[in-house]
């Protein structure tokens, strides 16, 4: 059992300890019941858990320290319970956390400094309506990706200057605490409503300019603080000098010993595990050039399969290098050819990327590995990912105009259509999301990260997978109950990306009320003809472009149909998107037959070349798009 959703029932009593026996669980949702008792320690056994939601119950006691063992969890919601005691510092080891909601409990103490080191925390941190106290550590600046921070209705004190460098915040609520002093003179604080600041008696919270402290003043205050800390540090340093001198000798000997071991396993310099290199393109660099770039300062991203580095090779060439997490590679494993059995992310990406060529799929340069380390080398994309451009406030590209968005979604659709219809056997990506669509120098899209891809042999196209592939928010609903792998799962994920591009919102977005998924939110807002679902910056575009966007929205709704059989193929999707631009001057309803014709012709060409799949676009669907639901 991978998904367990018992939310919004009338369940009572404690959560049974036996829940820890369901070690394959990836999503556990017990929210909106009347469960009581304490959180069982056995939850720490659910090492594969990605979503834990027990909000809106009557759970008492403290948050178990063992939750720190959930290293894969990305969403933790314990809100609206009766939890007491401190926030466990062990939560800081859950490095994949993107959202934490502990609001509306009776938690006490301060915020553990370990929480400030959760660099993946980019959606929300909600600690409101508790009994927390203390000051906010200057380490909060490490939460540079955080979008929403709510610490209202607590007993926090000190000033708010520590928040001045959180440039990615879109929402901040510090009301009803004990904060004092002035406000940082930043765009965020200038836009805060009085309700977000009220209830702090010593805080200058007027919207007039007198309450804002300039950046230079903030730096002066920080300098004064750090100068005092520096004096203390110098005193301690002098005291410890003698001890450090003695320990230095020991550390030096220890380091040399470790470096000798690393030289054998990593660099292969005369050791028993030398590096092997397999190029898939013409390259002008060696393994040594690549290894020198694998430093913390060159990290540009981390994911479920590994960490990605920007490698400047010194000859004017820059590449991206993915270092995969250690998994199941054995001592006897060696890459032989492209038909090697798919055993882990390394072999999956080798087999997939080594056999495909398309203008909208990231160029795979080669791979190198030894006993302990596996590296994949790609063409470097200077503009990062589509997700970064859409959602990070500090990106250098600003907001994408519709023309660029259209070219990106069309190119991504063509790349996916190639994988589904032109590769033999077909390839299902299984992790399509905005962060896996990379953007080139001219804003051309490239599908990346094939660590979960599956090459589906004939007669095995709907075989169940032993794990749920994909990312939270993009996973097709059929995964939860059937574990079936088909190309229609990619179509659903692509539809979510389309909605993301059109609305500017993430699949699970803090600005969407009631925690709705983006698909449900768009449907509730009666998307047909309602331009309010479009991102604000897009609504002022010319009428012809608005028409294109609304037609694209119609394609997205088809892609996210709950029934896999009723979703179009990616060949259909690419044809429909192309037709939108070609017939942009025509009215949407008047060109329904043209869309169907273009879709059918694309399908027929695919079928005649042996790469087809049945088209699911029907005249009835197109009529529904034009007429709207009654």
pLDDT score for 209: 59
The angle, 0 to 180 degrees and rounded to 10, between the axes of the packed helices 543-559 and 619-627 is 130
How many residues comprise the chain? 630
Neighbour count for residue 286 (Cβ, 10 Å): 12
Token reading at 585 = 């001057």
Q: By mean pLDDT, which of 71-80, 368-377, 588-597 is the weakest?
A: 588-597
What is the separation of C-alpha 91 from the centre of its chain, rounded to a whole number of angstroms? 19
Tell which wins on pLDDT, 19 or 589. Answer: 19
Look at residues 420, 280, 448 and name the one whose alpha carbon lies nearest to residue 360.
448
Q: Parallel, antiparallel, or unpaired: how do β-strands 183-184 and 171-173 relate?
A: unpaired
Q: How far apart are CA 544 and CA 127, in angstroms?
A: 45
Q: Parallel, antiparallel, or unpaired: how do β-strands 445-447 and 437-439 relate?
A: antiparallel
Spell out the domains of the chain, with CATH numbers in brackets: 3-204 (3.80.10.10), 276-328+343-380 (3.30.200.20), 383-585 (1.10.510.10)
Q: How far apart are CA 265 and CA 477, in angstroms?
A: 43
Q: Is the pLDDT of residue 55 over 90?
A: yes
Q: Active-site residues: which are they?
A: 431
pLDDT score for 124: 87
Q: Does residue 99 sit in helix, strand or coil?
A: strand
pLDDT digits over 371-407, tens only? 778 888 888 888 889 998 998 755 555 578 999 999 9
Give yes or no for a contact between 348 and 453, defined as CB atoms under 8 angstroms apart.
yes
End-to-end C-alpha distance for the chain, whole angstroms: 39
Q: Is the pLDDT of residue 519 over 90?
A: yes
Tell which wins on pLDDT, 504 or 627. Answer: 504
Average pLDDT over residues 504-530: 83
pLDDT digits over 407-418, tens only? 999 999 999 999
| DSSP classification of residue 264 | I
Q: Is the pLDDT of residue 363 over 90?
A: no
Give yes or no for a contact between 59 and 36, defined as CB atoms under 8 angstroms apart.
yes
Give yes or no for a contact between 205 and 190, defined as CB atoms under 8 angstroms apart.
no
Q: How far apart are CA 270 and CA 6, in angstroms?
A: 57
Q: How far apart are CA 129 and CA 175, in angstroms?
A: 10
Look at residues 415, 493, 471 and name the one whose alpha carbon lies nearest to residue 448.
415
pLDDT digits over 99-148, tens only? 999 999 999 999 999 999 898 898 889 999 999 999 999 899 889 888 88
Look at residues 357, 502, 352 and name the one whose alpha carbon lies nearest to residue 431.
352
Token reading at 310 = 């920007």
**Percentage of residues in the chain having pLDDT higher than 90:** 36
Give yes or no for a contact between 603 and 629, defined as CB atoms under 8 angstroms apart.
no
How far, CA to CA in Å, does 553 sit from each of 246, 492, 587? Answer: 68, 13, 15
Q: How far apart are CA 76 and CA 55, in angstroms?
A: 9
Q: Is 323 annotated as a binding residue?
A: yes
Q: Is the pLDDT of residue 589 over 70?
A: no
- Cα dihedral 153, 158, 159, 165, rounded to 10, equals -90
Please spell the DSSP secondary structure of 232-246, one letter per residue.
HHHHHHHHHHHHHHH
Average pLDDT over residues 343-366: 73
Give yes or no for a contact between 52 and 75, defined as CB atoms under 8 angstroms apart.
yes
Q: Is the pLDDT of residue 559 over 70?
A: yes
Tell which wins on pLDDT, 437 or 264. Answer: 437
Give residue for tokens 């979960």. 452
Please spell the DSSP secondary structure of 306-359, one letter per residue.
EEEEEEE-SSS-EEEEEEEPP-S--TT----STT----SHHHHHHHHHTT---T
Q: State the alpha helices, DSSP H only, in 333-454.
A: 345-353, 386-391, 402-417
pLDDT digits over 246-305, tens only? 776 666 665 555 444 444 444 433 344 678 887 877 788 888 888 888 888 888 877 666
Q: How far apart are CA 319 and CA 141, in angstroms?
A: 29
Report for 41-55, 184-198, 380-394, 510-524: range of highest mean pLDDT:
41-55
pLDDT score for 207: 54
Q: How confident is the model at residue 224 (pLDDT cuts 50, 70, 90)?
A: very low
Give yes or no for a contact between 458 and 425, defined as CB atoms under 8 angstroms apart.
yes
Q: How far apart are CA 630 and CA 627, in angstroms?
A: 8
Give residue for tokens 């939860």. 480
Phi/psi of residue 624, each to 5°? -65, -40
* 283 burial level (CB within 10 Å; 0-12, 13-18, 19+): middle
Q: How many helices (H) and strands (E) does the chain have?
A: 13, 28
- Cα dihedral 378, 383, 389, 392, rounded to 10, equals 90
Give yes or no for a contact between 131 and 104, defined as CB atoms under 8 angstroms apart.
no
Q: By mean pLDDT, which of 34-38, 245-249, 323-327, 593-597 is the weakest?
A: 593-597
Q: How confident is the model at residue 342 (pLDDT cuts 50, 70, 90)?
A: very low
Look at residues 548, 613, 560, 210 and name the one whose alpha carbon lies nearest to residue 402.
548
Give yes or no for a contact between 143 and 167, defined as CB atoms under 8 angstroms apart.
no
Phi-psi label, residue 208: left if phi above 0, alpha if psi -120 to 50, beta otherwise: beta
Token reading at 112 = 């553990």
Q: How far apart are CA 257 and CA 234, in angstroms?
A: 31
The angle, 0 to 180 degrees and rounded to 10, between the axes of the packed helices 402-417 and 543-559 is 30
pLDDT score for 35: 95
Mean pLDDT across the chain:
78
For 255-259, the CB contacts below 8 A with 24+ separation are: none
Tell which wins on pLDDT, 606 or 174. Answer: 174
Give yes or no for a contact between 615 and 569, defined as CB atoms under 8 angstroms apart.
yes
Q: Is the pLDDT of residue 540 over 80?
A: yes
Q: How far apart are CA 184 and CA 485, in angstroms?
A: 51
* Buried-exposed string 213-249: b where 16+ CB fall within 10 A, e elsewhere: beeeebeeeeeeeeeeeeeeeeeeeeeeeeeeeeeee
Q: What is the 3-state secondary structure (H, E, C) of 102-134?
A: CCCCEEEECCCHHHHHCCCCCCEEECCCCEEEE
Give yes or no for a contact between 157 and 178, defined as CB atoms under 8 angstroms apart.
yes
Q: By mean pLDDT, which of 42-56, 131-145, 154-168, 268-282 is the weakest?
A: 268-282
């Amino acid at each position: 059992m991978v998904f367990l959703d018992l939310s919004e029932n009338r369940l009572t009593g404690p959560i049974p300890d036996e829940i820890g026996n369901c070690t394959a669980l990836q999503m556990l949702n017990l929210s909106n019941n009347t469960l009581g008792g304490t959180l069982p320690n056995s939850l720490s056994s659910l090492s594969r858990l990605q979503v834990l939601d027990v909000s809106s119950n009557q759970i008492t006691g403290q948050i178990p320290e063992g939750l720190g063992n959930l290293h894969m969890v990305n969403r933790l919601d314990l809100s609206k319970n009766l939890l007491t005691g401190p926030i466990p510092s062990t939560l800081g080891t859950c490095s994949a956390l993107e959202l934490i909601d502990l609001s509306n409990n009776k938690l006490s103490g301060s915020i553990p400094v370990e929480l400030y080191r959760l660099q993946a925390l980019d959606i929300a941190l909600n600690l409101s309506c508790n009994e927390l106290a203390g000051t906010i550590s200057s380490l909060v600046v490490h939460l540079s990706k955080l979008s929403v921070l709510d610490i209202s209705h607590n007993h926090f004190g000190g000033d708010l200057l520590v928040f001045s460098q959180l440039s990615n915040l879109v929402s901040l609520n510090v009301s009803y605490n004990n904060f004092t002093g002035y406000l940082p003179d930043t765009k965020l604080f200038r836009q805060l409503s009085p309700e977000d600041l009220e209830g702090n008696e010593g805080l200058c919270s007027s919207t007039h300019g007198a309450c804002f402290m300039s950046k230079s003043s903030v730096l002066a205050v920080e300098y004064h603080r750090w100068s005092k800390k520096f004096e203390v540090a110098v005193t301690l340093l002098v005291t410890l000098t003698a001890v450090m001198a003695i320990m230095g000798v020991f550390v030096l000997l220890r380091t040399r010993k470790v470096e000798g071991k690393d030289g054998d396993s990593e660099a292969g310099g005369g050791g028993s595990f030398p590096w092997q290199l397999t190029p898939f393109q013409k390259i002008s660099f060696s393994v040594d050039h690549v290894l020198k770039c694998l430093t913390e300062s060159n990290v540009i991203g981390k994911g479920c399969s590994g960490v990605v580095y920007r490698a400047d090779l010194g000859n004017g060439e820059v590449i991206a290098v993915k270092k995969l997490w250690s998994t199941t590679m054995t001592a006897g494993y060696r890459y032989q050819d492209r038909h090697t059995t798919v055993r882990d992310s390394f072999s999956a990406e080798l087999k997939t990327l080594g056999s495909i060529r398309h203008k909208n799929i990231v160029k795979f340069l080669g791979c190198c590995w030894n006993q302990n380390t596996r590296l994949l080398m790609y063409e470097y994309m200077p503009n990062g990912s589509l997700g970064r451009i859409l959602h990070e406030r500090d990106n250098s590209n600003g907001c994408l105009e519709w023309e660029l968005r259209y070219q990106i979604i069309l190119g991504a659709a063509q790349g996916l259509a190639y994988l589904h219809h032109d590769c033999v056997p077909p390839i299902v990506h299984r992790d399509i999301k905005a962060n896996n669509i990379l953007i080139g120098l001219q804003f051309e899209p490239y599908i990346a990260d094939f660590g979960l891809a599956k090459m589906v042999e004939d007669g095995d196209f709907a075989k169940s997978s032993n794990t749920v592939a994909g990312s939270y928010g993009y996973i097709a609903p059929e995964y939860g109950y059937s574990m079936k792998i088909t190309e229609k799962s990619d179509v659903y994920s692509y539809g979510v990306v389309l909605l993301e591009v059109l609305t500017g919102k993430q699949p699970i977005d803090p600005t969407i009320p009631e925690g709705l998924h983006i698909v449900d939110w768009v449907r509730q807002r009666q998307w047909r003809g309602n331009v309010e679902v479009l991102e604000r910056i897009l609504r002022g575009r010319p009428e012809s472009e608005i028409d294109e966007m609304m037609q694209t929205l119609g394609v997205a709704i088809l892609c996210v149909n709950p029934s896999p059989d009723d979703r179009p193929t990616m060949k259909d999707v690419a044809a429909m998107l192309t037709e939108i631009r070609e017939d942009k001057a025509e009215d949407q309803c008047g060109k329904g037959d043209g869309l169907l014709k273009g879709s059918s012709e694309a399908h027929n060409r695919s079928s005649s070349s042996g790469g087809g799949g049945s088209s699911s676009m029907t005249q009835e669907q197109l009529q529904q798009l034009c007429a709207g639901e009654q």
